[in-house]
C-alpha cells in the first residue's frame, strides 16, 4: 500500500499524530558495553555536573539524609559550590546531622542563605539557635516535606543524591547488588521524592556498576547526571552493624509497660500493623510485643518505618508478613531489603504525605520518643531544655496523626531534666493526636481518648493523669528557671499539612 | 553549730546525676561559689541556693566553693556539700536532724 | 514506722554512694530497697555515702517500698554514726551485718533506742533485721531471731559465710545447713527468712534455679543486685494457676461448710485440716498482695 497524504485519511484531525514519517534516528553500531562506557550522563567531576545543571544564585538545592552522620556528600558538594562562587542558595536537605557543621562557614559567606529541613544537630544547630541566619530555618516532617515538594511549595532546582551504587544511565540503589562489602544504606526512600520532582538530579556514587542496576531505588529517567567519586561517606557513621536491644533497666521497664498498653488497647491481634521508633525504649517495645505475639500465636501484617534489624529478624522468623521501608537504620535492615522479597522500599510520599492516603494511615499503632511532653500532650522532639535545636521532626506528627493509637515513650526525667513539663519549648506534634504517654513511673492517657482509658483500666493497668506525672517530675527535680530568649525568630515549625504550628527563637546567653 | 574549715576537701564525683563539690577555707568573708553545671540555665540558681543553705546550716560563713554538677538532685547536692564541709573541717560529730 | 508482716519477696541492694541508683531505686518494683553503707562503699567514701542516704531518705518519696539501710558493723566504729544518721532520717529497717549473736542485736537496739529518744522519735519506731554471715552466726540463729521485738527478719549473707566455712559457692549444697538453720530460727521466732544475693546477673537460669529452691525451702524472699532479677523472682513467688485454683477450692469448701453451720469441711471426699486452710489463706494472700504490688504499673 502506498502511503496516503495525511489530509486524505478520514478523521485525521481526530487521530493524534506527529506528521508523516520522515526517517529513523541513526543506529548505534558499537557494542552495548561500548555504549555504556560512553554514556553522556557520566561526568568527570562534581564541578562539571553543577555547571551542566545550570545552577544559578538563588536556586534551591537538596540532599537526602540516608547517610546520617557518616555523610560526605553534602560537604563535598557544598565546598565545590562555594568555590564556584554561588550565593543565596536555599538548602533543602531532608535532614542535617552534626557532620554538616562546615555549613556554618558557607552560611557566613552567603553561599547558603536559607535552610528547609527536618532537623539539625551539633555545631550547626547551636549556631542557628544563636542567630546565625537572617531567614528562619523551616522545619518540616518527612510527610510535610514530600507534600510541599509535590504541591510546589518547595521547588527543588537541583538535587544531589548520594548513592552506594549507580549504573551509567542513572539507575541508583542504596546498596551494591554485586557484593556485600561496600557502603550500604538500604532504602533511599527520601531520595526518591527529590529524584522525581527536582528539575535536575545529580547522582554521586562511589560505585559505578554495569547497566542495569535493577531493581533500583531511583530510576534512570529521573536522573540527569552521574559523578563517580572515591568517598561518599563513612560506613561507621552511615550504619552500625546492628542496633542492639537496650539493657538499660529503665528503658526496659518503659518498653514492657508500652507493650502491655498496646496489648490492652486491642491493637494486638492477628494481622495488626505497627511502626517502632529507633530510640532505646521504643525499639525494645518490639521485643516485648514479640513475646506476646508468640504467646498468642499472632502475626503482624506489616511493619512501617524506620526499619531496624529487630524488625527484619521478626520478619525472617515469620512474625511480620511485610515490611515497608522508607529508611534502613542498620546493616541488618539494609541486607534484609536487599535479599527479602517482602521487605519493600517506599518513598517519602507513599510513607507519609498528607495529600494521599499514605501508609501511616494504615497503622494500628506507632511507638514514638520525645524530648518533652506537656500537660496538653503536645510533644517536642526538636529543641532541648536549654532552647537549643538538637533533634529532628522525622515522621513524628505524620505517624501520630495517621496511626489509630500513638504511644509516646520516655523516661520521666533525664538526669535533672524533666521530660513531662507544663509547656513544651516547641510544639512539633500537637496533643490532639498524642494518645498515650508511657514513662517508667506511670502511664497517662489523653482525656480525648476515654475509650483507651477504659481499655487500659479493664486490663488492670494503673493510669495516672498527665498532671500527676508532671508533678512527680517537678517534685524530683524542682522548678527550673525559665529559658531566656531573644526576639529574633530562628526557626519556623510546620505541621504535616505545612501550616505553621510553632516558632523557635534565638537563645539569650547574655549575662543578666 | 559552727564548723571551722581547716583544709581544702572535696566530695562527690563527675558521674551523671552527681555533683563534685570542693570546699576550702577562705580569708575573705562570705561564700565564694563557682559553679559549672550541665543544667546551669535551668537549675543554676537553685543549685547555688542549696549549696549556700547547706553551708549555712553547718555554720560555715567563709569559704571558697567550687562545684561541678552533672544534674544532681537537691538531696545529692546537700549530701555532697555537707560531706565536703565535714572533710574540710575534720569534723567528729555531724549534727544529724530527725525528719 | 516499720511494718512487721509485709511482702519481702525481693530486697534490692542499692550502693549507698551512687546518687543515680539511689534516686532510681524505687522504679523497678522491688518490695524492699536496701541502701548499703557497708561493703559496696569504699572505705574513704563511707562518710559521703552516709550523708547521701541520710538526705535521700529525708527527701525522696519511695512510695510503698520498704526502706532498709545496711549499716557498717558496729565493731568498725562506723556503724554507730550510721545509726545516728539513718534512724533520724526515718529508715524503716536497719540491717545489721555480720550478726554473730543475740548480744549484737541487743547492742544495736540499745543504740537505736537511745537515738530515737534523743531525736524525739517514739522509741520502737525503727525496725531491724539481722544478716548472718558466719558459722557462729548460723549456730546462734535461733537466739538472734528472738533477740529483739524490732526484728522483722533474718537474712543469710553467703559470700562471707562460705569463706568462713572455708569453701566456695557452688551448687548450693554449701549453704544447706545455713539456709535450714536460718529458716527454722525465723519461723520459730515468727519473723521473715531472707536468702542471699545471686551475683551472676547474666546467669538467668542459675538465678531462677536458686530462687525456686529457696521458695521450696520456705523462704519469704531474696536479695537482688540488679533490677533484671526482680521480675523472674516475683514470678517464682507468684502462685501457679493450679495452686491458686486448689486454694480457692479449699476456701470455697470452708465457706460452704460455714454456711451450712457445719464445723467440718471437705474437698473431694477428704476432710480439710487446719494447716491446709492456713496454707490456702496464705497462698491467696500472697497472690493478692503480689497482684496489687506488681500491678502493671507501680506507684
CATH value at residue C105: 3.20.20.60
- The CA distances from residue A182 to A167, A213, A391, B70, in Å, are 15, 15, 29, 41
For residue B46, give the nearest of A385, A478, A483 by CB distance. A478
Which residues of chain B does C56 touch, with a Cβ-Cβ cutoff of 8 Å?
Answer: 75-76, 79
Please indicate whether residue A216 or residue C256 has the higher confidence score (pLDDT). A216
C297 touches chain A (CB under 8 A): yes
The reply to whether residue A462 touches residue C24, judged by beta carbons under 8 angstroms, is no
How many of the other CB atoms lie within 10 Å of CB of A7? 7
Pair C84, C166 in one domain: yes
Higher model confidence: residue C267 or residue A505?
A505
- Indicate whether B87 pLDDT > 90: yes
Q: Which residue of A has its CA nearest to C228?
A: A249
Of C24, C296, C299, the CB nearest to A250: C24
Give yes or no: residues C162 and C231 share one domain: yes
A459 and C296 within 8 Å at the Cβ level: the answer is yes
Q: How far apart are CA C126 and CA C16, in angstroms?
A: 19
Q: The domain containing residue C209 runs over which residues?
A: 10-237
Q: Report yes or no on C299 lying in a domain.
A: no
Q: Which residues pair with B66 in a beta bridge?
A: B22, B34
The pLDDT score that the predictor gives to residue A2 is: 66
- A8-12, B89-93, C57-61, C252-256 — which one is most confidently predicted on average? C57-61
Interface check C296 vs A, CB under 8 A: yes
Q: C35: distance to nearest CA of chain B, Å?
A: 14
- Our CA-based measurement puts residue B18 at a distance from the nearest CA of chain A, in whole angstroms, of 9
Residues C262 and C125 in one domain: no
C84 has pLDDT over 50: yes
Q: Is C271 helix (H, G, I), strand (E, B) or coil?
A: strand
| Least Cα separation, residue C48 to chain B (angstroms) | 5
Total number of residues shown for chain B: 99
Facing residue for B83 by CB, picked from C22, C48, C90:
C48
C24 interfaces chain A, CB cutoff of 8 Å: yes
Same-domain pairing of C29 and C97: yes
C171 shares its domain with C274: no
Q: What is the pLDDT of residues A105-120, one digit of tens each?
A: 999 999 999 999 999 9
**In this predicted model, what pLDDT tens digit does every residue of B7-61 receive, in sequence order?**
999 999 999 999 999 999 998 999 999 999 999 989 999 999 999 999 999 999 9
CA distance B52 to chain A (A): 17
pLDDT of res. A512: 60
Of C216, C237, C258, the residue at which a domain comes to its end is: C237
Domain assignments of chain B as residue spans, ordered by start:
9-89
**Residue A416 to residue B45, Cβ atoms within 8 A:** no
Query: Are residue C224 and residue C249 in the same domain, yes or no?
Result: no
Indicate if C98 and C120 belong to the same structural domain: yes
- Say yes or no: C205 and C267 in one domain: no
Q: Name the nearest CA neighbour of C229 among C66, C27, C29, C22.
A: C29
Average confidence (pLDDT) over B62-80: 97
> What is the least distance, in Å, from the CA of C76 to any CA of chain A?
35
Clarify whether residues C23 and C164 are in a common domain: yes
Q: Where are the alpha helices (DSSP H) in A365-440?
A: 396-402
pLDDT at residue A283, rounded to an integer: 87
Domain final residue, candidates C220, C237, C254: C237
Interface of B with C in 47-86 (CB under 8 A): 72-76, 78-80, 82-83, 86
C66 found inside a domain: yes
> Does the pLDDT at position C208 exceed 80?
yes
Q: Is the pLDDT of residue C267 over 70?
A: yes
Query: Does the beta carbon of C37 lie under 8 angstroms from any beta carbon of chain B?
Result: no
Does C171 share its domain with C43? Answer: yes
Q: Is residue C2 part of a domain?
A: no
pLDDT at C131 over 60: yes
Nearest CA in chain B to A484: B41
Residue-level pLDDT at C298: 42
CB contact under 8 A, B76 and C19: yes
Closest to A373 in 3D by CA, of A413, A416, A415? A413
Q: B41 at the C interface (CB within 8 A)?
A: no
pLDDT attached to residue C272: 84
The verdict on a CB contact (< 8 Å) between C295 and A460 is yes
The SS3 call for residue A438 is strand
Other beta carbons within 10 angstroms of residue A453's beta carbon come to 19
Query: Distance from A433 to chain C by nearest Cα, in Å?
Result: 24
Query: Does C27 contact A253 at a Cβ distance shorter than 8 Å?
Result: yes
Structural domain ending residue among the three candidates C194, C215, C237: C237
How many CB atoms are closer than 10 A to CB C266?
12
CA A451 to chain centroid, in Å, comes to 31
What pTM, to 2 d.p., does this model score?
0.91
Residues C139 and C151 in one domain: yes
Domains of chain A: 36-238 (3.40.1080.10), 249-482 (3.40.1080.10)
- pLDDT given for residue B78 in this prediction: 97
Q: At C166, is the pLDDT very low, low, confident or very high (cuts 50, 70, 90)?
A: very high
The residue of chain C with its CA nearest to that of B92 is: C81
Q: What is the pLDDT of residue C297?
A: 40
DSSP string of A6-23, one letter each residue: GGGSTTGGGS---SS---
Domain at B9-89, CATH class: alpha beta
Contact between residue C102 and residue C145 where contact means Cβ atoms under 8 Å apart: no
Q: Do A483 and B42 touch (CB under 8 A)?
A: yes
Q: Is the pLDDT of residue C42 over 60?
A: yes
Q: How close A257 gets to chain C, by Cα (Å)? A: 7
The partner residue sitting opposite C297, judged by closest CB among A249, A252, A461, is A461
Cα separation values, A408 from A260, A303, A434, C90, Å: 14, 17, 7, 37
Q: Do A461 and C24 touch (CB under 8 A)?
A: no
Task: State the pLDDT at residue A238.
Answer: 87
Total domain count, chain C: 2
Q: CB contacts < 8 Å between B and C, how many?
A: 74
At A241 the pLDDT is: 65
User: What is the pLDDT at residue A509?
Assistant: 85
| Residue-level pLDDT at A1 | 56
How far B50 CA sits from the closest chain A CA (Å)? 12
Sheet of strand A60-63, all strands in order from the earlier edge strand to the far edge: A42-43, A225-228, A200-205, A158-163, A60-63, A89-93, A112-117, A137-139, A485-494, A500-507
Nearest CA to C129 out of C103, C109, C159 is that of C109
Residues of chain A with pLDDT under 70: 1-2, 241-242, 511-512
**Number of Cβ within a 10 Å radius of residue A23:** 5
**Count of A–C CB contacts within 8 Å?**
36
Closest Cβ–Cβ partner in A416, A476, A479 for B39: A416
Residue B1 has pLDDT above 80, yes or no: no
Contacts of A425 in chain B (CB under 8 A): none
| pLDDT over 50 (residue C296) | no
Select from B75, B80, B96 the Cβ nearest to the Cβ of C84: B96
C119 and C252 co-located in one domain: no
Rounded-to-integer distance, Cα C66 and Cα A121, Å = 44
Q: Least CA distance to A508: which residue of chain B?
A: B41
**Adjacent-strand bridge partners of A201:** A159
Amino acid at each position: 500500500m502506498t502511503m496516503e497524504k495525511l489530509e486524505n485519511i478520514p478523521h485525521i484531525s481526530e487521530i493524534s499524530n506527529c506528521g508523516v514519517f520522515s526517517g529513523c534516528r541513526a543506529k548505534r553500531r558499537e557494542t552495548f558495553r561500548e555504549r555504556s562506557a560512553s554514556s553522556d550522563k557520566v561526568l568527570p567531576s562534581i564541578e562539571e555536573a553543577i555547571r551542566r545543571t545550570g545552577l544559578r544564585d538563588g536556586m534551591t538545592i537538596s540532599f537526602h539524609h540516608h547517610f546520617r552522620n557518616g555523610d560526605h556528600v553534602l560537604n563535598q558538594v557544598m565546598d565545590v559550590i562555594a568555590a564556584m562562587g554561588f550565593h543565596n542558595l536555599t538548602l533543602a536537605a531532608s535532614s542535617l546531622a552534626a557532620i554538616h557543621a562546615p555549613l556554618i562557614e558557607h552560611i557566613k559567606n552567603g553561599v547558603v542563605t536559607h535552610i528547609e529541613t527536618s532537623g539539625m544537630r551539633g555545631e550547626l544547630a547551636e549556631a542557628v539557635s544563636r542567630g546565625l541566619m537572617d531567614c528562619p530555618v523551616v522545619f518540616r516532617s518527612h510527610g510535610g516535606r514530600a507534600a510541599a515538594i509535590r504541591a510546589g511549595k518547595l521547588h527543588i532546582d537541583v538535587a544531589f543524591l548520594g548513592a552506594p551504587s549507580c549504573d551509567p544511565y542513572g539507575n541508583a540503589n542504596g546498596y551494591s547488588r554485586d557484593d556485600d562489602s561496600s557502603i550500604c544504606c538500604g532504602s533511599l526512600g527520601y531520595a526518591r521524592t527529590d529524584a522525581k520532582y527536582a528539575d535536575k538530579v545529580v547522582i554521586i556514587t562511589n560505585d559505578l556498576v554495569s547497566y542495569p542496576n535493577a531493581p533500583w531505588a531511583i530510576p534512570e529517567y529521573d536522573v540527569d547526571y552521574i559523578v563517580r567519586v572515591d568517598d561518599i561517606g563513612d560506613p561507621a557513621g552511615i550504619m552500625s552493624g546492628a542496633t542492639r536491644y537496650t539493657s538499660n533497666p529503665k528503658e526496659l521497664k518503659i518498653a514492657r509497660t508500652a507493650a502491655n498498653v498496646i496489648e490492652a488497647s486491642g491493637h494486638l491481634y492477628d494481622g495488626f500493623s505497627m511502626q517502632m521508633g529507633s530510640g532505646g525504649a521504643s525499639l525494645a517495645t518490639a521485643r516485648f510485643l514479640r513475646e506476646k505475639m508468640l504467646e498468642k500465636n499472632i502475626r503482624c501484617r506489616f511493619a512501617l518505618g524506620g526499619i531496624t534489624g529487630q524488625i527484619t529478624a521478626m520478619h525472617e522468623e515469620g512474625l511480620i508478613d511485610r515490611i515497608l521501608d522508607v529508611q534502613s537504620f542498620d546493616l541488618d535492615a539494609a541486607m534484609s531489603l536487599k535479599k527479602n522479597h517482602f521487605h519493600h522500599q517506599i518513598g517519602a510520599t507513599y510513607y507519609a504525605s498528607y495529600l494521599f492516603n499514605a501508609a501511616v494511615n494504615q497503622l494500628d499503632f506507632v511507638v514514638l520518643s520525645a524530648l518533652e511532653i506537656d500537660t496538653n500532650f503536645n510533644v517536642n522532639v526538636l529543641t532541648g531544655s536549654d532552647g537549643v535545636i538538637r533533634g529532628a521532626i522525622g515522621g513524628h506528627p505524620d505517624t501520630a496523626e495517621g496511626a489509630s493509637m500513638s504511644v509516646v515513650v520516655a523516661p520521666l526525667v533525664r538526669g535533672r531534666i524533666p521530660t513531662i513539663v507544663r509547656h513544651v519549648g516547641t510544639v512539633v506534634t500537637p496533643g490532639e493526636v498524642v494518645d498515650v504517654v508511657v514513662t517508667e513511673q506511670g502511664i497517662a492517657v489523653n482525656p480525648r481518648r476515654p475509650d483507651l482509658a477504659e481499655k487500659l483500666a479493664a486490663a488492670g493497668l494503673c493510669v495516672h493523669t498527665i498532671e500527676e506525672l508532671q508533678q512527680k517530675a517537678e517534685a524530683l527535680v524542682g522548678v527550673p528557671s525559665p529559658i531566656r530568649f531573644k526576639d529574633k525568630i530562628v526557626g519556623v515549625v510546620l505541621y504535616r499539612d505545612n501550616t505553621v504550628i510553632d516558632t523557635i527563637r534565638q537563645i539569650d546567653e547574655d549575662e543578666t | 553549730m559552727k564548723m571551722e574549715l581547716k583544709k581544702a576537701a572535696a566530695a562527690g564525683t563527675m558521674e551523671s546525676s552527681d555533683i563534685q563539690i570542693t570546699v576550702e577555707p577562705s580569708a575573705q568573708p562570705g561564700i565564694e561559689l563557682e559553679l559549672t553545671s550541665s543544667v546551669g540555665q535551668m537549675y543554676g540558681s537553685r543549685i547555688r541556693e542549696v549549696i549556700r543553705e547547706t553551708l549555712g546550716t553547718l555554720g560555715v560563713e567563709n569559704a571558697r566553693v567550687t562545684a561541678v554538677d552533672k544534674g544532681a538532685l537537691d538531696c545529692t547536692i546537700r549530701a555532697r556539700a555537707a560531706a565536703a564541709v565535714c572533710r574540710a573541717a575534720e569534723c567528729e560529730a555531724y549534727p544529724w536532724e530527725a525528719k | 514506722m516499720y511494718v512487721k508482716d509485709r511482702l519481702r519477696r525481693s530486697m534490692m541492694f542499692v550502693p549507698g554512694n551512687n546518687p543515680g541508683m539511689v534516686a532510681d531505686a524505687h522504679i523497678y518494683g522491688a518490695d524492699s530497697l536496701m541502701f548499703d553503707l557497708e561493703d559496696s562503699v569504699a572505705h574513704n567514701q563511707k562518710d559521703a555515702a552516709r550523708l547521701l542516704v541520710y538526705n535521700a531518705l529525708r527527701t525522696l518519696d519511695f512510695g510503698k517500698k520498704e526502706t532498709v539501710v545496711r549499716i557498717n558493723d558496729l565493731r568498725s566504729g562506723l556503724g554507730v554514726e550510721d545509726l545516728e544518721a539513718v534512724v533520724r532520717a526515718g529508715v524503716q529497717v536497719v540491717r545489721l551485718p555480720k550478726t554473730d549473736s543475740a548480744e549484737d542485736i541487743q547492742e544495736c537496739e540499745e543504740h537505736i533506742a537511745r537515738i530515737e529518744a534523743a531525736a524525739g522519735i517514739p522509741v520502737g519506731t525503727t525496725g531491724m533485721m539481722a544478716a548472718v554471715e558466719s558459722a557462729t552466726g548460723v549456730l546462734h540463729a535461733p537466739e538472734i531471731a528472738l533477740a529483739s521485738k524490732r526484728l522483722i527478719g533474718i537474712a543469710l549473707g553467703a559470700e562471707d559465710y562460705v569463706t568462713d566455712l572455708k569453701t566456695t559457692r557452688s551448687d548450693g549444697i554449701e549453704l544447706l545447713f545455713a539456709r535450714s538453720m536460718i529458716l527454722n530460727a525465723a519461723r520459730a521466732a515468727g519473723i521473715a527468712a531472707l536468702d542471699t544475693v545471686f551475683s551472676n546477673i547474666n546467669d538467668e537460669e542459675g538465678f531462677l534455679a536458686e530462687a525456686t529452691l529457696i521458695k521450696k525451702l520456705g523462704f519469704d524472699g531474696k536479695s537482688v543486685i540488679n533490677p533484671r532479677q526482680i521480675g523472674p523472682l516475683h514470678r517464682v513467688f507468684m502462685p501457679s494457676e493450679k495452686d491458686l485454683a486448689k486454694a480457692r477450692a479449699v476456701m470455697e469448701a470452708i465457706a460452704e461448710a460455714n454456711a451450712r453451720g457445719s464445723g467440718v469441711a471437705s474437698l473431694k471426699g477428704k476432710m480439710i485440716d487446719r494447716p491446709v486452710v492456713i496454707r490456702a489463706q496464705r497462698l491467696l494472700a500472697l497472690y493478692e498482695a503480689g497482684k496489687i504490688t506488681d500491678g502493671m504499673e507501680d506507684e
